[in-house]
């Protein structure tokens, strides 16, 4: 990056915060920290979209060109979540919607906006709060199609701003908007044909750009917080308005020997609201252990709830895995 470009990004990042009265107020007052009724969030991530892990058949999960979410299973899982006492569904959208602003992103069979709205209404009637997720990490944005290769260009910024605005409207201005933003590093893209990533001031600039898009549309940004693992300065400059979801999926919850677990404590000490994330991706004990550790060690006023991440697509072959993930949340609730 040239010196002039670097200077632009530094100034732009600072300007984003300085010119953001809403973010500034949220950071000072900790506004929107708790959900209605001060009840805990018990959330699960479900995938409507698919193309988020690579661009070739060699990828961790190869991309598809046709809608792959099993709708019967989708309905079964959301109904089971509601009956089990979960309160929220994070809907990973990706390429599975025919966005009116950018229909070119959708794959064959993608839901229309009207179909998505109908399903959001169905979930709300079940007592569930649907939250949108679009992952804007360059490691997980194959769903963006051609725009994934235009990272940090004027076209990219316009398209992403359009999508955040439209999705916010489709979801009737939800409380939160999950931006993903995890694993943007070379080691996570080694199987890709096309590798692209941001770092340093450019990563910071684009991150703040997305925070600003959420602010403009009246929703609170939410991210996977693994950037802090390798960038401790993140605690100093990240806006306090951002909900942090640190994640760890194994079983060693000793913060003295496990830096991933220690990150929960560091975010808490730095004053961030958190929704810790567990998973049954690797084993069936992690989610309960995550709840137990965080309940014991994090500030009650900044612990908003928990997010379960099965990390399986909504396909019949993974039905039992999904049902176990929901049951684990039900068992861990307090």
The residue length of the chain stands at: 334
In angstroms, the CA 316 to CA 192 distance is: 27
Q: Report CA 118 to chain centroid distance, whole Å.
A: 22
**Inter-residue contact 79 to 126 (CB < 8 Å):** yes
Q: Tokens in use for 300?
A: 């009650």
In angstroms, the CA 167 to CA 144 distance is: 14
**Inter-residue contact 274 to 303 (CB < 8 Å):** yes
Structure letter (DSSP) for residue 4? H
pLDDT at position 5: 39
Task: Write the burial class of residue 216 (CB in 10 Å: 0-12 exposed, 13-18 middle, 19+ buried).
Answer: middle
User: In the predicted model, what is the mean pLDDT of residues 20-45?
Assistant: 59
pLDDT tens track for 153-196: 999 999 999 999 999 999 999 999 999 998 888 888 888 899 99
Q: Supply the pTM of this predicted model.
A: 0.90
Shortest CA distance to 178 belongs to which of 121, 271, 94, 113?
94
What's the CA angle centered on 181, arms 180 and 183, to 5 degrees?
Answer: 115
Q: Which domains are present in the chain? A: 47-332 (3.20.20.80)
pLDDT at position 37: 52
What's the helix, strand, coil split of the chain in %, to 5?
A: 45, 15, 40
**Inter-residue contact 278 to 286 (CB < 8 Å):** yes
Q: Return phi, psi of residue 221, to 5°.
A: -75, 145
Q: Where are the alpha helices (DSSP H) in the chain?
A: 3-18, 21-29, 71-83, 113-125, 154-170, 200-216, 227-230, 234-237, 259-269, 286-297, 319-332
pLDDT at position 309: 98
**Inter-residue contact 111 to 48 (CB < 8 Å):** yes
pLDDT tens track for 89-135: 999 999 999 999 999 999 999 999 999 999 999 999 999 999 999 99
Average pLDDT, the chain: 91
């Amino acid at each position: 990056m040239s010196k002039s470009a670097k200077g632009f990004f530094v100034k732009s990042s600072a300007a984003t915060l300085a010119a953001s009265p809403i973010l500034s107020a949220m950071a000072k007052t900790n506004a929107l920290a708790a959900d209605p009724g001060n009840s805990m969030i018990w959330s699960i991530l479900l995938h409507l979209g698919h193309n988020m892990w690579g661009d070739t058949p060699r990828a961790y999960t190869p991309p598809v060109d046709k809608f792959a979410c099993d709708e019967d299973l989708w309905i079964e899982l959301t109904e089971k979540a509601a009956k089990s006492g979960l309160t929220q569904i994070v809907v990973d959208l990706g390429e599975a919607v025919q966005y009116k602003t950018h229909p070119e992103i959708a794959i064959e069979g993608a839901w229309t906006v009207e179909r998505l709205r109908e399903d959001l209404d169905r979930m709300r009637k079940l007592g569930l709060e649907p939250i949108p997720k679009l992952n804007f990490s360059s490691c997980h944005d194959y769903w963006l199609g051609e725009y994934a290769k235009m990272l940090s260009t004027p076209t990219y910024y316009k398209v992403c701003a359009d999508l955040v605005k439209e999705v916010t409207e489709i979801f009737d201005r939800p409380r939160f908007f999950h931006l993903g933003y995890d694993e943007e590093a070379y080691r996570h893209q080694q199987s890709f044909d096309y590798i692209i990533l941001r770092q340093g001031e450019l990563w910071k600039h684009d991150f703040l750009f997305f925070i600003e898009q959420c602010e403009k549309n009246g929703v609170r940004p939410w991210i996977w917080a693994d950037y802090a693992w390798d960038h401790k300065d993140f605690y100093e400059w990240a806006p306090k308005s951002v909900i942090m979801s640190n994640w760890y999926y194994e079983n060693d919850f000793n913060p003295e020997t496990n830096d991933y677990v220690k990150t929960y404590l560091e975010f808490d000490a730095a004053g961030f609201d958190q929704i810790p994330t567990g998973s049954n991706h690797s084993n069936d004990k992690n989610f309960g252990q995550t709840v137990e550790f965080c309940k014991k060690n994090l500030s009650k006023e900044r612990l908003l709830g928990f997010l379960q991440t099965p990390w399986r697509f909504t396909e019949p072959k993974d039905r039992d895995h999904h049902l176990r993930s929901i049951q684990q949340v039900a068992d861990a609730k307090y």
